[in-house]
Amino acid sequence: MDNKFHTVIIGRGCLGVASAISLARKINSTNSQNNVCILEKSVLAGGISSRHSGIIRSANASIQAATFAEQANNMWRNIKDYWGVDIKPQQPGAIWIARNDKKEAAKTWNDLEKKLNKAKIDFSRIKHKEIKSLTNNLIRINEEHEIYFHEPNAMLFDPIEIRNSMYEAIELNGIKLKENTRVTGFEVTSGSKIKKVKTNHGTIEAENIINAAGGWSPQIFDSIGVKIPVSLQPVYVSNWLISKKKLPETFPIIADYINLSYFRTWRNGELHIHQPRDRSPSSIARSFAEEPTSMKGADVFFDSSNYTASYSETNKYAEMIRDRFPNAAPYIFNGGYISFFDITPDLQFILGEDKDISNLYHCLGAGQAFKYAPIFGEILSDLILGRKTKIKNFNLEEFSIKRFYKPKMKNFWNIVHGSQNTLRVREQASV
């Protein structure tokens, strides 16, 4: 039936699609008549998932997240085994640039190298002459004030190619896709279980619900008392034309933590630049204008995909290029825009079962969803089907939504609640 499904996924992005694919393939392997449906209020991957950087890397301050990312990296290399469609990545590796203050900053990065290596993730400090070789002497280096790390297994995808492949995988795996279908409410049983999903096109019955709606989650689930701490943080993007003779497709990803920017090769000889997430507590507090459990969600924005970057932001990125790529000049601006990171208060995922609704599962990427998509899909499908997962070093405690109800996090939001206190959060709170 078109209105009754084993699992309904709410959300159009790569996490929702990956969860649907993993679940559908496992259900179909048992010759079950049950099925999977994706609900999307507009079009598939019409928001953040069509405008991400396409970067796949494993390095992460959270070792649990890093081990998941490393496994996801391997899954992306063999994505046909998981999705049924073949997508070829670029494999240029990544260069990480960090400040060498010979004190705390350098120690932090050197400690990270040791932790990642212990987790069998290839991430190693390299000498300045190696940087020159890997980058064809194209970037500026500072031997006194910078240190450099190499992640050889980092990869690149084209977001548009990923989007097209998602449509193909949905059809191939017999998943029902309902675009232009907005969730308007839920019917919940007395046993705290979602029985029906109400939409602008009628009611749908579901045995399980996966929330992959990102920044739209708070608004969608607030009506049934499910409080989801997700907000939005803007990210500015710009693309610059550079001579293909100077910028080959094999040029590595540059994760520049001096200028706080990521650089990657883009289409037609372009250099793509975007910011990482702002990790400062004050910035995070500003993103949550009020207590996160009362957020209105991403619908406070008219359309997060249509904002054009300002002149000041474009000029700032031009200065970054001149600083880091002096040997690549001339550069020609070729378009910029604003996208968003959907973030949580601690910048970590929300993954796994809900705290109160027994058949609701969360799959929220906290601004870094794309690289984890296939492994999160496997995790969620195993949880729903009650299977023992094959994922190595499996532990979701760090990412459970329950952590936001612990005293430490509750105290943090008591401190920053209200606009008058957000600028002082760094001095008053520790998260």
Q: What is the pLDDT of residues 203-232, one digit of tens each?
A: 999 999 999 998 888 889 988 989 888 888
pLDDT at 136: 87
pLDDT tens, residue by residue, 301-359: 444 445 666 777 788 889 999 999 998 888 899 888 877 788 888 888 999 999 999 99
Q: Are 3 and 202 in contact (CB under 8 A)?
A: yes
Tell me the domains of the chain and their CATH numbers: 4-428 (3.50.50.60)
> Mean pLDDT highest for which of 91-95, 107-111, 326-330?
91-95
Q: What span, in angstroms and rounded, lies between the C-alpha atoms of 2 and 37? A: 9
pTM over cut 0.85? yes
199, 39 contact by CB (below 8 A): yes
Mean model confidence pLDDT for the chain: 84
C-alpha closest to that of 355 among 417, 424, 290, 401 = 401
Dist CA 225 CA 9 (whole Å)? 19
| pLDDT computed for residue 282 by the predictor | 65
Here the tokens at position 370 are 């794309």
pLDDT, average across residues 86-115: 89
Per-residue exposure over 185-199, b if at least 16 CB sit within 10 Å of its own CB, e if not: ebebeeeeebebbeb
Tell me the C-alpha distance between 170 and 191, whole Å.
Answer: 32
282 vs 257, which has greater pLDDT?
257
In this predicted structure, the answer to whether residue 428 has a pLDDT above a threshold of 80 is no
Per the rule left: phi > 0, alpha: psi between -120 and 50, beta: everything else, 210 is beta
pLDDT in tens, 22-81: 999 998 766 555 689 999 887 775 666 666 788 999 999 889 999 999 999 999 999 999
